[in-house]
Amino acid sequence: MHIEVFGDQKRASQRIVDLLTRQLRAYPYSVLGLATGATVIPIYREIIERIRREQLNLAPVRTFNLDEYMGLQDHDPHSFHAFMQRHLFYPAHLTPDQTFFPFPEFSQDPSGYDRLIEQHGGIDWQLLGIGHNGHIGFNEPGTAFDSETHVVKLTENTRKANRHWFDGDWHHVPEQALTMGLKTIMRSRTIVLAAFGASKSAVLAKAVYGLVCPELPASILQHHPRVYIICDQEAGSLLRPSSSFHSPDFPSQFDV
């Protein structure tokens, strides 16, 4: 794992978009795996900024989102469809024929989503956030490492963690979601995991240095050959070497 700790979210987001830019320069028709959540908002903002400055072109890409709540219509403002439309697709001029989600199309045949990804050549560049319990996508603790796209029952903790997207009431957060599995995610050629804020520091350290086990889904990433962990100083505070955090202008970089 290659780890880079930045002074703040903005610098970390810029670095992630630098990595994306490099990917798209080499392979303009890349297949991107995309995430939702508070973490990716500054990253998508940076992408939009670079598109406006004509430093980045997403027109040829196809995108596959990690997950979607079950039962929400595309146009429901709480859906991940709506999140992506608002924060990336609309401002980046991405159209429905190049952007894919597991729900509703694959609710009866979840592995069809994996097949569709493979038909497009597989995911070249996967962006991930991390949940406080170590989930990636919606792969909750206990998910099998060989899982492909599947239906999940969300834990109460995850529903509570996401309640701010549902007017603060966790009972309004759907009970189920359709998510890429851990094997789906591990098939990506490059993985970039972003983590911001002190609340992610403990789980990030466990994912990087802890035992690789289904109880901490993100720990599987230790077995992937090409993972970048890009975080801010707060999320990276328990990652070694912490002594190099003296300057917010220069990232601390190391491999584990």
In angstroms, what is the minimal distance from the CB of 195 to ligand GLP?
8
Tokens of 176: 């189920």
Report the catalytic residues: 67, 133, 135, 140
Q: In what order do the strands lie in the sheet with 176-179?
A: 67-69, 176-179, 150-153
Which amino acid would we find at residue 59? Answer: A
In angstroms, what is the minimal distance from the CB of 133 to ligand GLP?
10
**H-type helices in the chain, by residue range?**
9-26, 41-52, 80-84, 90-92, 111-119, 156-161, 182-186, 201-209
In angstroms, what is the minimal distance from the CB of 59 to ligand GLP?
25
Beta bridge mates, 114: none
Residue 140 binds to ligand GLP (criterion: CB under 6 A): no
The residue from 138, 186, 192, 216 that contacts ligand GLP (CB under 6 A) is 138
Determine the interface stretch with ligand GLP among 15-23, 37-45, 51-59, 114-122 (rule: CB under 6 A).
37-45
- Token pair 């792969």 is found at 139
Which amino acid would we find at residue 179? Answer: T
The residue from 31, 32, 58, 66 that contacts ligand GLP (CB under 6 A) is 66
Determine the interface stretch with ligand GLP among 8-16, 17-25, 112-120, 131-139 (rule: CB under 6 A).
131-139
Q: What is the dihedral of CA 239, 223, 126, 62, to 10 degrees?
A: 170
Residue 159, number of CB atoms within 10 A of its CB = 17
In angstroms, what is the minimal distance from the CB of 214 to ligand GLP?
17
Q: Which residues bind ligand GLP (CB under 6 A)?
A: 35-39, 66-67, 129-131, 137-138, 158, 162
